[in-house]
Amino acid sequence: MTTPEMRRSALEQAGYNTFLIRSEDVYIDLLTDSGTSAMSDYQWAGMMLGDEAYAGSRNYYNLENTVRKYYGYKHLIPTHQGRGAEHILSQISTKPGDVVPGNMYFTTTRYHQEHAGAKFVDVIIDEAHDPTALHPFKGNVNLNKLEAVCKEYGKDRIPYLSLAATVNMAGGQPVSMENVRQVRKLCDKYEIPIMLDATRAVENAYFIQQREEGYSHKSVEDILKEFCSYTDGGTMSGKKDPLVNIGGWLSLNDDGLAEKARNMVVVYEGLHTYGGMSGRDMEAMARGIEESVEDDHMRARIGQVEYLGELLLEWGIPIVQPIGGHAVYLDARRFYPDMAQDQFPAQTLAAELYLDSGVRAMERGIVSAGRDVVTGKNHYPKLELVRLTIPRRVYTQAHMDVTAESVLNVYSNPKKPKGLQMVYEPEYLRFFQARFTPLG
């Protein structure tokens, strides 16, 4: 528990950036679901079976078999976390002047694409940029947008389509099976591979089971395997779906590309049979993947997110709809309709929420979007959101109630903040370390 005075002081010291608050000053931590989930007894038991050989650990082979079994990919290159895999993939596939189409950007993913010299082009459906649109698969690719990019640049300048399922920045929104099937057809026509950001693909599979015709009787496990079968490989942050605190991987079906990746991973991550993870970490991830595809687990996990979202909707609070897989996203524009985007409404809202109750959330708006690498100008995303992210197997319904009550307090407070001014802006992925002062 914290007092208002403690929180005011902690927030000032953190430059009004929730990433810079110490966790001991946080009451309920909804910053992220990344690496914050609780491991099970089965996973902890696996930690005791760590084979810490430098080369050829048996835990690596177990992980490789597990990824093959559930995701279906042929080659497994382990990395320390998701962005390690994004780095390797970008470096082995992308050259300056290339173009990478994707269904909305993710911060680290786009960073690595741009770092390798590519331009990112958003090909998600328009509904994804509208927090009120009720489309059941707001992560879908707009096939016309994708085809226009394919026609303009062709296979020589498009190393792959970057397909995220679910789409984090759109509000944890899924991609339908029908859409990935159509995307596969189109990419085959233009000979462009599809690389899946598989970070929350199990959550995506659950939404397909719940919402798409013909899938209600299939297991999450089977749906996941079918979905991945339309893609050529994937990057994974083990810190989300796979229920571990650290780890990731790059998976590829193409033998030549996998050989390149295995060569590059030794430079940045570690030998190709551990890639920055210890044996025990790989064992915990293999077991986490097994648990993550259980229908009951997914129902409980997403059910908890929906519980919080439905409570907020009942109270008339503006959130992104439909409710996403890993988080509830507050629509900061509708909290502060008079605040200009340059005054950082979502960053301000995250600060207000922390001040009210010690609940920590994350900005997903103009600060996260960063600047255009060519012009240096700010991106102005349509979505200006605060993410209440739910770690897996950590919090109770009571924590969701306290969070909802605090959001209601902030929403109904007649004294509206004036916004923030950015006083320190780091060069890369500025949202992590930027500092602000309050206006007015």
Query: Which residues are known to be catalytic?
Result: 54, 106-107, 197, 240, 364, 431
Sites for ligand PLI among residues 7-36 (CB under 6 A): 32, 34
Task: State which residue, 169 or 319, has the beta carbon closest to ligand PLI.
Answer: 169
Q: Does 173 bind ligand PLI (CB under 6 A)?
A: no
Task: State which residue, 32 or 348, has the beta carbon closest to ligand PLI.
Answer: 32
Residue 396 parent element (H or E)? none
Distance CA 29, CA 26 (A): 6
The minimum distance between CB 333 and ligand PLI, in angstroms, equals 21
Residue with structure tokens 């189409």? Answer: 101
Q: Does 199 bind ligand PLI (CB under 6 A)?
A: yes
Among 197, 203, 232, 352, binds ligand PLI (CB under 6 A): 197
Tokens of 177: 């099976």
Contact track, ligand PLI, 229-248, x by CB under 6 A: --------x-x--------x
Q: Does 109 bind ligand PLI (CB under 6 A)?
A: yes
Q: Which amino acid is at 275?
A: G
Q: Does 105 bind ligand PLI (CB under 6 A)?
A: no
Q: Does 218 bind ligand PLI (CB under 6 A)?
A: no
Task: State which residue, 150 or 361, has the beta carbon closest to ligand PLI.
Answer: 361
Among 17, 43, 90, 168, binds ligand PLI (CB under 6 A): 168
- Please choose, from the candidates 200, 308, 202, 240, the residue with its C-alpha nearest in 3D space to the C-alpha of residue 36: 240
Strand partners, 225: none
Q: How far is CA 162 from CA 150, 196, 221, 259, 288, in A?
A: 13, 6, 22, 20, 25
Task: State which residue, 197 or 290, has the beta carbon closest to ligand PLI.
Answer: 197
Strand partners, 329: 387
Sites for ligand PLI among residues 62-91 (CB under 6 A): 81-83
Task: State which residue, 108 or 321, has the beta carbon closest to ligand PLI.
Answer: 108
| CB-based contacts of 374, cutoff 8 Å, min separation 6 | 119
DSSP 251: E
DSSP 319: B
Task: State which residue, 269 or 419, has the beta carbon closest to ligand PLI.
Answer: 269
- Please choose, from the candidates 302, 177, 281, the residue with its C-alpha nearest in 3D space to the C-alpha of residue 238: 281
Contact track, ligand PLI, 112-151, x by CB under 6 A: ----------------------------------------
Beta-sheet pairing, 435-438 with 420-424: antiparallel
Contact between 112 and 269 under an 8 Å Cβ cutoff? The reply is no
Binding site for ligand PLI (CB under 6 A): 32, 34, 81-83, 106, 108-109, 164, 168, 197, 199, 237, 239, 248
